[in-house]
Structure 1
Amino acid sequence: MQIATKIASLSNLVVTEISYIQAPLDLLLDADPCEDAVQGYLRKSRVYAVIKEGEIIAVCAVLPRGNAVFELMNIAVAKDYQSQGVGSLLLQYVIDKTKALGGRKLVLGTGTFGP
């Protein structure tokens, strides 16, 4: 029953590519607290979002690295929508879109934040 509920709650969501200008910086900073870094890669990235009733509830930045390689730089889901499958939905969209763009590899780099 829980899986059926998640699927039903995802049915009213739209996943799409947006301009980096439309990307909600506050949400991106939840995943990467360095604003300078986010601003640095954001304008060079393809940005995807999950939209519910006109509101961006999840966002992802994917940077083309050349040679059919893309790097997932940032992915964040608004707190009220976490653990509901929204991030998985967005990630699957990014994987499919990357393949459609000729991508052969999608990499995820990790960072260390804090002291």
Structure 2
Amino acid sequence: MIRQLLAEETLPMNLLLLADPSERLVRDYTSRGTCHVLEKEEKIIGVYVLLPTRPDTVELVNIAVDEGYQGQGWGKQLVLHAIQEAKKQNYRTIEIGTGNSGVTQLALYQKCGFRMVSIDRDFFLRHYDEPIFENGIQVVDMVRLEMDLM
């Protein structure tokens, strides 16, 4: 079951930090967006955050699945749920960004209907104090994707 995290509930920071290693940035955007959680047998195993960015546009800023549940289709369910949630809230566009080395994520987002639109060069160098590596590649650029919802 996927549901919105209630205001009085604690953020699943362990999951959020899987997708974004900066607790400072995670706390910032979760305070401005809505956090949704995926529960299985009363345990939170997945999370995503929707963040309004511009009129009629929302960004899917964090998607994470507990490492013990990865590779089972839960990430795709979270992305598809986020798209439906954005449509229900009458957004016209949903955006998402991922690191240049996130080949699995890039494939998933495109399978869900997102299209690459731009590259934010040096994004991770500007916004993170420590270097981030994924798949043996330093994460330097943010690949931006979007989907029209209308």
TM-score range, shorter chain: 0.7 to 0.9
| Shift of residue 18, structure 1, vs aligned partner | 1.1
Q: Using the TM superposition, give the Cα deviation of residue 45 of structure 1 relative to its aligned residue in structure 2, in angstroms.
A: 0.8
Match of residue 74 from structure 2: 86
Query: Would you tell me which structure has more helix in proportion to its own residues?
Result: 1
TM alignment of 1:57-96, pairs within 5 A: 57-96=45-84
RMSD between aligned residues: 1.6
Give me the whole-angstrom Cα distance separating, in 1, the residues matched to 2:58 and 2:6: 17
**Alignment correspondent of 2:27:** 39
**TM-score by structure 1 length?**
0.81
- Within 2, Cα distance between the matches of 1:41 and 1:84? 27
Q: Which runs of 5+ in 2 are unaligned?
A: 100-123, 133-150
What per-residue deviation string (whole Å, max 9, x for no partner) do you get for residues 63-102 of structure 1?
A: 0123110011111000011010101111111100100100
**Cα deviation 1:23-55 (Å, max 9, x = unaligned):** 200110111001100011111111111101111
Paired-residue identity, %: 34
Structure 1 stretches of 5 or more lacking a match? Answer: 1-13
Once residues 101 and 28 of structure 1 are traced to their aligned partners in structure 2, the CA distance between those partners, rounded to angstroms, is: 23
- Alignment equivalent of 2:6, drawn from 19, 35, 44: 19
Structure 2 residue identity aligned to 1:55:
K
The amino acid across from 1:71 in the alignment is: E
> Which sits farther off after the overlay, 42-51 or 19-28?
19-28
Which 4+ runs in 1 deviate beyond 6 A?
none
Give the Cα separation in 2 of the matches to 1:109 and 1:42. Answer: 16
Higher relative contact order (CA 8 A, sep 6+): 1
- What TM-score, normalized by structure 2, do the two folds share? 0.63
In 2, distance between residues paired with 1:67 and 1:17? 22
